[in-house]
Amino acid sequence: MDHLRYQIARVDALLHAADDLLERVGDRQRREHVAHLVDLAKQATATALAMAAGLARQLLKGRSEG
């Protein structure tokens, strides 16, 4: 569960960093950096969703066995 919280916090931090970059860098740099941060956020989101699905499966399995 802690790792899931970490992934969610990571997504939030990446999106805040992307927002900060929009205000600070030039157009070409901005697009490249923001695209990279968005890709990282997507990866972290996918990881968090996969972890949440795994936890849900474990809970459902525990209920069906118990």
Question: What is the DSSP secondary structure assignment for residue 25, as one 8-state letter?
Answer: S
CA nearest 22: which of 11, 34, 13? 34
Residues 14-49: pLDDT tens digits?
A: 888 887 877 777 777 777 888 888 888 888 888 988
| pLDDT (0 to 100) of residue 30 | 75
For the chain, the structural domain boundaries read 2-65
Task: Give residue 35's pLDDT.
Answer: 83
Tell me if the pTM is above 0.85.
no
- What pLDDT score was predicted for residue 4? 81
Half-sphere exposure of 30 (CA within 13 A, CB side): 9
- Structural Rg of the chain based on CA atoms: 17
